[in-house]
Amino acid sequence: MATGPGGAPPIETRGLTKRFGALTALDDLTINVEPGEVYGFLGPNGAGKTTTIRAILGLAKPSEGSARVFGFDAWVQREEAHRHLAFVPGEFAPWPTLRGSEMLDLIARVHGRYDPQRRDEMCKRFEFDPTRRGREYSKGNRQKIALIAAFSVDAELLVLDEPTSGLDPLMEIEFRACVIEARDRGQTVFLSSHLLSEVEAVCDRVAILRKGRLVEVGMLDDLRKLNTQEVEIEFGSIVPDLSHVPGVQQLRANGSHVTLRLKGAPNALIAALAAHDVRDLDIREPSLEELFLTYYGDVE
């Protein structure tokens, strides 16, 4: 199962380009997803992630170039390609009048190869009630239908397009565990996301897309350089000088209020702060767009 049919790579795109009228949504994308890996596809909203995925799934015809799934042309031989993959969209649209269980059953039977036991187990893990009707499910529960369906069919490749939108943090953790288990079963996972933390948690390799172009492909370690945090500190009386603390960048002080960007582990900063009167401390992950501006400038 790991190598897939015919030993061809699970996903391979060559100069994949998609234009909508004058707009180039995707420009000359060439990527190669290896069997058995969890491949992260990272980019801010509107970068062209969904466009790429629709081309890979044979839902949209490339303007130029090609996408192949296990060697099958994604557009011409889409039915063959579909036999080997399962898909979770960013926003799953349920049939309003069908029950959750009916939808899961339908998707599994249309696909043909599925594991009913794993499906029941998935329903429990995601705390999903399959007896309700499509229109009664909340956003997060709609998403769970697609996730459970995808994880319970025997597909060599899972294509996930921002699959965790609407899930609460506990379910997000469950989702990450499922991705790791899928990889351990030998499945290849293509995970598109705009959350650095999500990609960091599960992916072996990452492609970064911005404004329709591939910015970088790297192993997870390469991502570390992106691993910076926005820190805001409110001091009591004395505002110390933090400019010499390792990892501190873009230091700005406004009275007792200090903002800075921290690269790498926060040990040194915490040690430096320990001796001072800290009233409030806020550490957050910067948005991808903020990060990209820092590291890649404005690619026009």
Partner 1 sequence: MTLSRFAWRHVWRGAVIWSGVLAIIVLTAIATFESAYPNEGSREAFARSIGQLPAFQALYGRAVGVDTVGGFLTWRYGDIMSLIIGLWALLLVTRMMRADEETGRAEVLVAGRVPPRRLLLVQYAVFLAGCALIMTAVTVAGVAGGLPVGGSILFGFMVAAGGVIFGSVAAVTSQLFDARRRAAGWAGAALGASFLVRALADGSSKLHSLAWITPLGWTERVEPFTGASVVPIVVIVAASGLLFSGAFLMREYRDTGAGLIGARTSRGRPRPMRSSLELDWHLSTGALVAWGSGIFVILFVLGYLTHDMVRFANDNPTITKALNRVYGYSIASPVGFLSVSFGFAALLLAVYAGSHMLSAREDEAAGRADTLVIAGTSRIAWLLSRIAIALIAIAVLALVAAFGAWLGASVSGVSVGFVHSLEASINVIPASLLFGGLSVLAFGSFPRFTAYVTFGSVAACYVIQVLGGLSHAPHWLTKVSPFAHIAPVPAASVDLHATLAMLAIALATSALGVSAFARRDLARD
Q: How far is the CB of 93 from partner 1 (least distance, A)?
A: 4
Residue carrying structure tokens 């599960």? 202
How far is Cα 44 from Cα 184, in angstroms, rounded to an integer?
29
3-state secondary structure of 131: coil
The type of residue at 49 is: K
In whole angstroms, how close is the CB of 107 to partner 1 at the nearest point? 5
HEC letters along 21-69: CCEEEEEEEEEEECCCCEEEEECCCCCCHHHHHHHHCCCCCCCEEEEEE
Q: Binder to partner 1 among 15, 30, 64, 109 (CB under 8 A)?
A: 109
Contact between 97 and partner 1 by CB under 8 A: the answer reads yes
Work out which of 41, 70, 72, 92 binds partner 1, going by CB under 8 A: 92
Q: How far is the CB of 56 from partner 1 (least distance, A)?
A: 10
User: Binding of partner 1 at residue 254 (CB under 8 A)?
Assistant: no
- Where in 123-142 is the site for partner 1 (CB under 8 A)? 131-133, 135-136
Q: Considering only residues 217 through 236, tell me which ones interact with partner 1, judged by CB under 8 A.
A: none
DSSP 226: G
According to the binding rule CB under 8 A, does residue 76 interact with partner 1?
no
Nearer to partner 1 (CB atom), residue 145 or residue 208? 145
Q: What is each CA distance from 119 to 62, 86, 122, 128, in whole angstroms? A: 34, 14, 5, 11
Nearer to partner 1, 97 or 237 (CB): 97
Closest distance to partner 1 from the beta carbon of 104 (Å): 10
Q: Is 107 in the site for partner 1 (CB under 8 A)?
A: yes
For residue 59, is it left (φ>0), alpha (ψ between -120 and 50) or beta?
alpha
The residue within the footprint of partner 1, chosen from 21, 22, 23, 79 (CB under 8 A), is 79
Q: Hey, CA dihedral for 210, 216, 219, 222, is it positive or negative?
A: negative
Tell me the C-alpha distance between 268 and 249, whole Å. 13
| Count of residues in contact with partner 1, rule CB under 8 A | 37
Task: Name the helix (H) or strand (E) containing 292.
Answer: helix 288-296
* Among positions 101, 165, 256, 294, the unique one binding partner 1 when judged by CB under 8 A: 101
List of residues contacting partner 1 (CB under 8 A): 54, 57, 59-61, 79, 82-83, 85-87, 89, 91-99, 101-102, 105-107, 109-112, 131-133, 135-136, 146, 149
